[in-house]
Structure formats: C-alpha cells, structure tokens
C-alpha cells in the first residue's frame, strides 16, 4: 500500500494521539514528520507565532524523545524545515502518499495554514483526515442560550459538565509499520531531512538552560509520572495547596500539556479513575477543582478561537484608551527579579531559572507589572511567551488579560494584588522566598516579605544591606495603587 503521512505538531506522543491512531488503523505504512518553520510567509494570514526561547528548548527534548520512541517500533521521526504547504506537497509526491493525518489547531494562523495544506493536498488526490487531539471540547461545541460563545467561565464550565464525558483516551498503537523514505540523493526526492541539532533549538553560547535541564525531562513517560505523583497525594489538598508556592501542591503538567506529551483526555480520565478506585472524604470536591483548571484552559481556547488577536488587542475594547507608562528601569527590575518585593522577585527568578512559575505567583507578578508599574500587559505577555516552557497561545494571552481586567470573565481592574499580603498569606514562613531570593534567607518570617520594615540590627544579623545586597522597593505600594486607580478613571 502507498504510505500515509502523520504530521506531528503539539501532539508529541504515541498514546491518545487520534491522528496517529487513525493513520495506523488504515494499515498503510507511515511517514511520521515534524516541520519546523519560523514565521512562514506563504500568505499574510499564515504566520503562526514562533515559539519562545524556553519553548524551543522543550521542543528539542520532546522531538528527541519522540524519535527515540518511534525507533523502538523500527521507525523514525523525519524533521523537515520550510513552509508546510510546500514541504507536504513535495513529501506526498516523493513518497506517493495517499493520505495525511493531523490533529487540529485552534489559533487563527494555524487554522489558516492547515486549510491551505488541506486544499493543496486534496487537489493532488491526497485524502486528508484531521482529529481533535488537543481539547476536551472543541470551540463551537458550547454556546450560550443566545447561540453565542460564552464570555463567563462559570457558565461555560457548567454547560460543559452537562455534556457527555470526553471520549476515553486511545492506547498507543501496539505495532506501527513505516515507509522508508527515498534516499536523499534521489533526484525525485528534493527534501533532505534535517538533523534535530541543526534546528538550533537549544541555547549554545551562552547555555542558559542548566536550570531547565535540572528541573524538567520533556517526554511522554515523565508526563505520566508527574500525573501519577500528583494524584497520589497533592490532589487531597488541592483547593488550598494550589495557592501555596512553598508546597508541591500543583500537578506541574502545564508544559507537557502544551506540547502534547500528554493529552487532556488522559489527565481527565486518569484523575477520575484514580479517585473512583481510592475514594476519600472530600476527594471528589478536590477533583472537581482540579478539573476546573482544565476547564479554564478550554475556556481560553474558545476565546482565542473567536478572538484571534487575543495576545495583541484588549478583549474588552473599552480598555483601549488606558494610558501606559514607558519605564525601562522598572521593566528590567521586574524581569530580573529586582523589584524589592520578595514574592515578586522570587517568582521572576524561578521563571528565569526553571522556565516555569507557580500559578498564584504568576498572578502577583503580572498584577505588579500592570498595576504597580502601569506597563502594558502585552509587554508582560511577550516576556512570558519567551521564558515559559508552558507558553500556550490561549492560556498565556487569556491569563494576562484576566489580570489586566481587559479579558473575558476578567478580574476587576481595581483588584490590585498587594505583594506583601500575598506573600504573607501564601508563603507564610517565607520558604519560597528563601529558595529563590537567598540573600534574604536569614531574615525571620516576620520581615521576609517586607525587609525594609526590619530594624538595622535585625538586617545586620541576617546579612542584608538594603540597596546593596537586596534592592529597596522600586515603587511604594500605596502610592502605586492610588496611581493605578486614577489611571482607570480615564476609561470613564
């Protein structure tokens, strides 16, 4: 039989990969391909956002792991570089492929690109099959009573939970058959596979990824290990511990989910099955809270689907006149974790070192940038896009707009997180700050979230010299809050 092409994207796994499963079920020999293309320019609308630096590091590891897994089945992942429309058309011709399979994307540029690929291949007689391998409920599945997309999460999730449960995840194909590509020297095969190293996804000089390598292993088995660990104990106190950056209370699955090392259906059904097998008082409530976080991701994808410029324009246009400040020093202090507010600095340093930040702290640092410094939320969104290993086009933009107050179901603009109180409430002993801001490690918990209130002798005993070893606050909280509230009045 002539082969089928499986086009991998953000679904870098074998289990519960609907496109791979359907292609394998066709009994055709497979050509598994990944196409790397930065800012393709085939058409103006076909410009998917290029991955940031931390995401490129994760992508390298995931592609390497996927290729090793395919090799165990006597296959390989072919990596090609260029524009997908041209690449796939040539690949189909060179291999005489009769079908292509992929899992759908939901950002507007990705959808436009996929439509262009589908049109081109169908014209050449190649059958195209697309699947849902990324979401529980695809955008458009849920509408409010007026027939419009939901704008409020609670109503959206309530409606989602009334639907039939998501389909059960698919097992990895037991046996895969592969098609051998023509030799590179064959004149008919004008596409030369690219070694993964040539994509230069990992940093070289300097290699800043030591903290990422020490923290993460981007592959399918590790994703499931994280899920198993989380369901074993942390889920028991999830509703409270998820807000504690000093505890291992979250699943830490976000990067694995973003790149498809694990599927959302696998998480959903494994969590349900585990709780059913090991019931305990209150565990269903904890499970519901955890699954609602998956629901928030679904909600953000629905918003992105209908508002493709979510990372660029205010979801609520009434925020367009808002005045932003240009503050290079403030921005740099925020990026480097040198604001003088320990919980903010701890979060930004955790991000810089590991490519990840605790969810509660993400809200605090985002609020600080937007409302204490009055710096445009889009600036913060871009920084997170470049530094997060879990940078996701829907969640990243949607969450920044939520904090800014300009998004769907957003926090009110006048909700301004107090970084001192947030630290004292969610890192009461200062363990999180001590880990990421070691120059404050010897301060008592009473002062660790507001070191400027300690007496000189207390600072001396702790080895802290404000303005020297640790900065003084770059902005006064009360004054910054007042300034932010005055700024929002300009919208009236």
| Residues catalogued as catalytic | 293, 296, 324, 359, 377, 400
Asked if residues 272 and 292 have their Cβ atoms less than 8 Å apart, the reply is no
Under 8 Å CB-to-CB from 466, ≥6 apart: which residues? 451, 452, 459, 472
Distance in angstroms between the alpha carbons of the first and the last residue of the chain: 67
* Residue environment code for 43-61, b if the CB has 16+ CB neighbours within 10 A, otherwise e: eeebbbbebbbbbbbbbbb
Report CA 163 to chain centroid distance, whole Å.
Answer: 26
Q: How far apart are CA 50 and CA 311, in angstroms?
A: 13
The CA distances from residue 483 to 44, 133, 226, 367, 400, in Å, are 40, 45, 43, 14, 20
Q: Are 336 and 348 in contact (CB under 8 A)?
A: yes
Q: Identify whether 408 is preceded by a cis peptide bond (ω within 30 of 0).
A: no
- Per-residue burial over 196-216, b if 16 or more Cβ lie within 10 Å, else e, is beebebbeeeeeebebbeeeb
Token duo for residue 184: 């590179």
Rounded CA-CA distance 311/305 in Å is 12
How far apart are alpha carbons 228 and 267 in whole angstroms? 10
Tally the C-alpha atoms within 13 A of residue 74's C-alpha that lie toward its C-beta.
8
* Alpha helix positions (H), 2-152: 18-25, 53-71, 84-95, 108-123
Cβ-in-10-Å burial (0-12, 13-18, 19+) of 353 comes to middle
Rounded Cα distance, 373 and 369, in Å: 5
In whole angstroms, give the CA distance from residue 469 to residue 452.
13
Q: How far apart (Å, rounded) are the C-alpha atoms in residues 295 and 299?
A: 6
Collapse the DSSP code of 280 into the 3-class scheme (helix H, G, I; strand E, B; otherwise coil) and give the result. Answer: coil
By the 10 Å C-beta count (0-12 exposed, 13-18 middle, 19+ buried), 288 is classed as middle
Please say whether the beta carbons of 169 and 269 come within 8 A: yes
Bridge partners of 145, per DSSP, are: none
List residues bridging with 79 in a β-sheet: 34
């Amino acid at each position: 039989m002539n082969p089928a092409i499986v086009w991998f994207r953000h679904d870098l796994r074998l289990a519960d990969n609907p496109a791979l499963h359907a292609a394998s079920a066709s009994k055709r020999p497979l050509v598994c391909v990944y196409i790397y293309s930065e800012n393709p320019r085939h058409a103006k609308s076909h410009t998917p956002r290029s991955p940031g630096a931390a995401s490129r590091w994760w992508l390298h590891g995931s592609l390497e792991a996927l290729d090793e897994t395919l090799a165990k089945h006597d296959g390989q992942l072919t990596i090609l570089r260029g524009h997908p429309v041209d690449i796939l058309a040539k690949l189909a011709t060179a291999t005489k492929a009769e079908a292509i399979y992929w899992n759908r994307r939901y950002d507007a540029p990705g959808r436009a690109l996929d439509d262009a690929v589908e049109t081109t291949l169908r014209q050449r007689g190649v059958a195209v099959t697309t699947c849902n391998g990324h979401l529980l409920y695809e955008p458009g599945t849920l509408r409010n009573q007026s027939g419009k997309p939901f704008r409020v999460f609670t109503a959206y999730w309530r409606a989602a939970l009334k639907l039939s449960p998501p389909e059960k995840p698919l097992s990895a194909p037991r046996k895969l058959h592969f098609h051998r590509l023509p030799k590179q020297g064959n004149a008919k095969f004008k596409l030369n596979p690219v070694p993964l190293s040539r994509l230069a996804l990992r940093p070289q000089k300097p290699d800043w990824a030591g903290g990422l390598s020490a923290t993460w292993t981007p592959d399918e088995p590790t994703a499931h290990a994280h899920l198993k660990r989380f369901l074993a104990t942390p889920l028991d106190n999830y509703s409270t511990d998820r807000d504690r950056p000093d505890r291992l209370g979250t699943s830490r699955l976000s990067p694995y989910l973003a790149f498809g090392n694990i599927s959302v259906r696998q998480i959903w059904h494994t969590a349900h099955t585990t709780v059913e097998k090991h019931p305990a008082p209150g565990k269903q409530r904890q499970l519901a809270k955890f699954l609602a976080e998956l629901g928030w991701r679904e909600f953000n994808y629905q918003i992105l689907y209908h508002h493709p410029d979510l990372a660029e324009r205010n979801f609520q246009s009434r925020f367009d006149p808002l005045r932003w400040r240009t503050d290079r020093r403030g921005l740099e202090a925020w990026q480097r974790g040198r604001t003088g507010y320990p919980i903010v600095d701890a979060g930004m340093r955790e991000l810089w070192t590991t490519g990840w930040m605790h969810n509660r702290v993400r809200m605090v640092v985002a609020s600080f940038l937007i409302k204490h410094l009055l710096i445009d939320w889009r600036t913060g969104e871009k920084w997170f896009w470049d530094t997060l290993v879990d940078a996701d086009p829907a969640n990243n933009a949607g969450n920044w707009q939520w904090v800014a107050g300009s998004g769907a179901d957003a926090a009110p603009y006048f909700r301004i997180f107090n970084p001192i109180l947030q630290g004292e409430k969610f890192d009461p002993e200062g363990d999180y700050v001590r880990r990421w801001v070691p120059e404050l490690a010897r301060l008592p918990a009473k002062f660790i979230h507001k070191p400027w209130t300690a007496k000189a002798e207390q600072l001396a005993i702790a080895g802290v010299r404000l303005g020297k070893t640790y900065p003084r606050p770059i902005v006064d909280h009360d004054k910054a809050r007042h300034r932010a509230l005055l700024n929002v009045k300009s919208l009236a």
